[in-house]
Structure 1
Amino acid sequence: MTPERKDETPDELENGVLTAGSIDTAGIGLIGGSTAQVDVDLPSLTADEDDLLTEEELLAEADDLLGDRPSNHPEDTVDAELVVDAGTGPQPISRREAHHLGDHDAKHAVERVHTRTADVPLQSRRLGEFEGGRESSDLLTADRLLDPAHVVRPEPEGGWQHFVYSVTGHRVNLGDGKRARARKELDRRIAAPLGGGAKFVPILSRKGGVGKTTVSTLLGMALADARDDRVIAIDANPDRGTLADRIGRVSGKTVRDLVRVRGEVVGFNDLSSIVARDETRLDVLASDADPRVSEAFNDRDYHDVASVAAHYYSIVLTDTGTGIVHSVMEATLQLADVLVVVAGLSVDEARLASETLTWLETNGYEDQVRNAVVVLNTARPGTPLVRASELEAHFGTRVRTVVRMPYDPHLAAGSAVSFRDLQPATRQAARELAATVVEGLRILASA
């Protein structure tokens, strides 16, 4: 028996969703302020006739809206809900009302029905409810999904740890030894990501012979060996630099060649034919060694070289000359992010390094000095005549970090440097210097 239905005026629209006080008269609310009123006379329905259509039936019904094919369902079957984009959001309407839509709106109805996913219930929803509770793919992390009991741990490093791992048939894994953990932690510090563009790190010294080029080489090798991005060391000595002599491979090209063809460099392959790369993947750009060139490398040349390097490298090291007031030095300091100042272990060498810091502070580089690194380089064998601890205490009051570089006969020869052949203490000091420089760059980026 058909239940009696009272004739009432439509209830007020709430949140742009169709509501009706009577089944005889319904209002379609469109967000944006306009409301279309449609009077519909519907026959009485039994409970069985009031079921919603399946999604497949909805798709077929929506396709009928764009063509002249007769619907597979009588027009007066009601309450199959479609979604029409009215320009400001999805609006639910009945199938009877959808038959009276224009072609434009009907087309949107078909598109919206076809894009509905199977897990979305076929019912009206308030705006904002469609994305509720859904997770994005980035939440499916390994820590969340993998059972720790079944995660295969890597083979441990360390004598005792590896012995236990072997004799137990790989069932007992004690983890890495103390030394291996320290090495991996240092690797992590050196390889820490650097945001933004290329970072410039000049290596300075006002006195020759203290090991500035050697420190530039060791720093570049330690960075390139542990990092995944590209690192280049530029020999910006306006006279005759020897940075390229410290790596085992040479390209025969110099900074002068890059200045000459800078406008033709359109990719890294063009640049790779000019730089030289060593076994650690450090690229080196040699200084101009042609004695017939009358014009020395100047600030304009450095800016040209630096602009090209910044396109292809994350870290640009600059082995500078000893002239603090030279135009190349001025251009270098203008681009500097972190300064590395090299001091020798003698009274006059230490004083010159300290005076270099004073000159920088009084010429507008106070912030760079506070974030700088001083390297106490031991260039001669035997016990130094000055107390390194006192030098470390002095420079510690002026810069962020002081690093000691020990004497190494492999470096004292002045020939090509193999990072693998260095003494462990020298290699460790170079890696500590690299980690300190990266931390300084990250501090600068976060400031």
Structure 2
Amino acid sequence: MIAQARITSDTTATVHLADETVEVTGGDLPEIRDRVKQVFISAARSGEDPVDVVIVEPDVHHHLRVEPTGRISGREADERPPYGPAIDDPLIAPPSAGLPEEHLPTDDTADLSSIDAESLSAPGSGPTTGEHAAIVDGTTGELPSVRSHRAGRRRAAAMPPSNAAGDDESSAASARSGPSAQSVPSADSAVSAASAPSASSASSASSAPSAPSASSASSASSASSASSAPAVATAPVPSPAASTQKRPLAPRSATPADSRPTLQDLQSSTAKPETVKATRGLPGFITRVTRGAISPRPNARERRETERLERIRRPLDGPRNIAVVNLKGGAHKTTASLMIAATLGVTRGGNVLAWDNNETRGTLGWRGVPTDHHRTAVDLLGDIDRLRAPHASNADLDPYVRPQGEMRFDILASDEDPGSAASIDDQAFGELNDALSRFYRIKVIDTGNNVRASNWLAAVKNADQLVIVSTVREDTFNAAAWMIDELRATGLSEQVDHAVTILSHSSKGKFDPTLRSRLLAHFGAHTRAVAEVPYEQQFVDGSHLEWSRIAPATKEAWLDATSVIIDGL
């Protein structure tokens, strides 16, 4: 079966998933479509698999595939039934759709004091009521009107006493009896975005369920402050049965006067489903032989490779830094920096810099393709004002960086003069970083071995993604483990938690399975991902990197590692 979204009006929709139904409301049709897509993306990420969906609108059906990465592409329609109603069933808006907001029995205007709690309770059980719609915390930026109700799940809300003395008193009692710790779906699901109460809105907080358990302390304080809020104007609920219906809140923002479709609406409704043809294996052979007349879908391996390349090629919001670290020499930091930069350059088409930020004499410049100059970061720092000028261009960088040909990245070497006393400190690093960010989308920064060097710390603090590299030798993985402890002790735990560990095999021999499992467990407990790359003969002789000589298995492993790294950007 496939997931289904039914857009029932310009301001309402219902999403039917395998294990839940989500009511969505918004200010206009584009907003509704965007929120529906966010629900599907959250479902794909939660299941870690693509989700095939159909979006049903009047006179048009959109058959789509939603990837965990957030990519949405067209697909061919098939015979699988959808969750929820049949696709061709009439689109029926929720009962509240189209009503003026002042006429809706929303959470902040409903008075439950006239309902007898005992009449709604089963014998021997406590009071049970219908579900209260959640009020969002306006400071979180979450979707304010996406609400999930899972099958078989009921959220309890204490009923006010039926013998209230007066309007004000009964309202106050209702506020004091509001729930203070309720269970809601996971915080990483987009459909739970409306579950946190607003601390600044005392009148509505009294009836809103609290935030997830991770923020229960703040939820409790919000509930206690809400209990002393003044009573608000109330309207009676029509019947107990009505209170149990899954009814979305009306949109809080007024619908624009002109709700006619836009260019984006036209393009989305007329877009043809994308046909993906196989290019490899037997399916690819059939496609080539028949010249596309018969075009089977790509096999699992080709789909995986395509998805991996799309992850690496995804657009970034701005320049990003990747810092490659280990405090031990010989830990493969330089080769890792080269391979990450080369993989990014080949797959993304350039705009990548490998920067040797070693506080002493680094070797990144030696390991790259030779050029006709020997200028380094120190020389570039001396002419930094040229790069700061408004008319500066990439051509102004040519005298200082070393292009790497078919690998489509540049190298900025560290000082190579053994008699030089020049060095790069944290201030100089900042000046270089700001200037280079104008010209490179991604900078891969090779670091030195001194955790207390100011330029080393500056590189780590300015990293959008930390990459901890280690071989499977005892001295290098112990150095990596010590560095992690040191970073946490100096207040950089967040960088470590977000880091990726790369274990580089340093010999052709088999990796001791016991040691391997211990390393995976240790670094997996500290960093968000651990990747392994195989032994590569070309790295041993110390010559400059030649992409054509790299073994296919090594390229595959670095593609996997780089896609995980890019996920963090």
TM-score range, shorter chain: 0.5 to 0.7
Does residue 227 (structure 1) correspond to residue 353 (structure 2)? The answer is no
Report the equivalent of 2:383: 261
Structural mapping, 1:44-443, within 5 Å: 132-141=258-267, 144-148=269-273, 153=275, 156-195=278-317, 197-228=318-349, 230-250=351-371, 251-265=373-387, 266-278=392-404, 279-384=406-511, 387-441=515-569
Deviations 1:96-147 (CA, angstroms, capped at 9, x unpaired): xxxxxxxxxxxxxxxxxxxxxxxxxxxxxxxx99973533323342x63255
User: Per the alignment, do residues 383 and 164 of structure 1 end up closer, same or farther by CA in structure 2, a change over 3 Å counting?
Assistant: closer
Q: Indicate the SS of the match to 2:443.
A: strand
Residue 267 of structure 1, CA deviation = 1.7
Mean CA deviation greater in 374-383 or 243-252: 243-252
Cα distance between partner residues in 1 of 2:271 and 2:495:
46
CA contact (8 A) 2:499 2:528 kept: yes
CA contact (8 A) 2:350 2:409 kept: no
The higher relative CO (CA closer than 8 Å, separation ≥ 6) is in 1
Cα distance between partner residues in 2 of 1:257 and 1:214:
24
Unaligned runs of 5+ in 2: 1-253
Cα distance between partner residues in 1 of 2:291 and 2:343:
36
Cα distance between partner residues in 1 of 2:463 and 2:277:
42
CA contact (8 A) 1:216 1:319 kept: yes
User: Per the alignment, do residues 306 and 130 of structure 1 end up closer, same or farther by CA in structure 2, a change over 3 Å counting?
Assistant: closer
Cα distance between partner residues in 1 of 2:399 and 2:471:
35
User: Per the alignment, do residues 162 and 373 of structure 1 end up closer, same or farther by CA in structure 2, a change over 3 Å counting?
Assistant: closer
Unaligned runs of 5+ in 1: 1-127, 442-447
Q: Which amino acid aligns with 1:192?
A: R
Deviations 1:159-192 (CA, angstroms, capped at 9, x unpaired): 3113322443431100323322221111011112
User: Per the alignment, do residues 220 and 133 of structure 1 end up closer, same or farther by CA in structure 2, a change over 3 Å counting?
Assistant: same
Cα distance between partner residues in 1 of 2:433 and 2:330:
26
Deviations 1:226-258 (CA, angstroms, capped at 9, x unpaired): 225622111011221111222224353210111
Runs of 4+ deviating beyond 6 Å: 128-131
Q: How many residues are matched?
A: 309
User: Per the alignment, do residues 156 and 324 of structure 1 end up closer, same or farther by CA in structure 2, a change over 3 Å counting?
Assistant: same
TM-score of the superposed pair, with normalisation by structure 1: 0.65
Q: Which amino acid aligns with 1:243?
A: L
User: Per the alignment, do residues 169 and 138 of structure 1 end up closer, same or farther by CA in structure 2, a change over 3 Å counting?
Assistant: same
Cα distance between partner residues in 1 of 2:264 and 2:368:
43
User: Per the alignment, do residues 160 and 208 of structure 1 end up closer, same or farther by CA in structure 2, a change over 3 Å counting?
Assistant: same
CA contact (8 A) 1:205 1:341 kept: yes
Cα distance between partner residues in 1 of 2:281 and 2:510:
34
Aligned residues with identical type, % of pairs: 29
Cα distance between partner residues in 2 of 1:199 and 1:319:
14
Residue 301 of structure 1, CA deviation = 2.4
Q: Indicate the SS of the match to 2:353.
A: strand
Residue 318 of structure 1, CA deviation = 1.0
Residue 425 of structure 1, CA deviation = 2.0
Residue 259 of structure 1, CA deviation = 0.4
Residue 292 of structure 1, CA deviation = 2.8
Residue 392 of structure 1, CA deviation = 0.8
Residue 310 of structure 1, CA deviation = 1.4
User: Per the alignment, do residues 162 and 300 of structure 1 end up closer, same or farther by CA in structure 2, a change over 3 Å counting?
Assistant: same
Cα distance between partner residues in 2 of 1:168 and 1:330:
58
Cα distance between partner residues in 2 of 1:129 and 1:181:
42
Cα distance between partner residues in 2 of 1:421 and 1:192:
27
TM-score of the superposed pair, with normalisation by structure 2: 0.51
Cα distance between partner residues in 1 of 2:459 and 2:291:
57
Cα distance between partner residues in 2 of 1:140 and 1:159:
38
CA contact (8 A) 1:410 1:422 kept: yes
User: Per the alignment, do residues 137 and 290 of structure 1 end up closer, same or farther by CA in structure 2, a change over 3 Å counting?
Assistant: same
Q: Indicate the SS of the match to 1:311.
A: coil
Cα distance between partner residues in 1 of 2:484 and 2:259:
58
Deviations 1:322-375 (CA, angstroms, capped at 9, x unpaired): 111112112212312221111121222221111100000010101111111111
Cα distance between partner residues in 1 of 2:262 and 2:398:
41
Larger Rg: 1
Residue 283 of structure 1, CA deviation = 1.5
Cα distance between partner residues in 2 of 1:147 and 1:310:
38
CA contact (8 A) 2:378 2:422 kept: no
Cα distance between partner residues in 2 of 1:182 and 1:238:
40
User: Per the alignment, do residues 407 and 157 of structure 1 end up closer, same or farther by CA in structure 2, a change over 3 Å counting?
Assistant: same
Residue 389 of structure 1, CA deviation = 2.2
RMSD: 2.3
Cα distance between partner residues in 2 of 1:297 and 1:371:
26
Cα distance between partner residues in 1 of 2:290 and 2:463:
54
Cα distance between partner residues in 2 of 1:130 and 1:320:
54
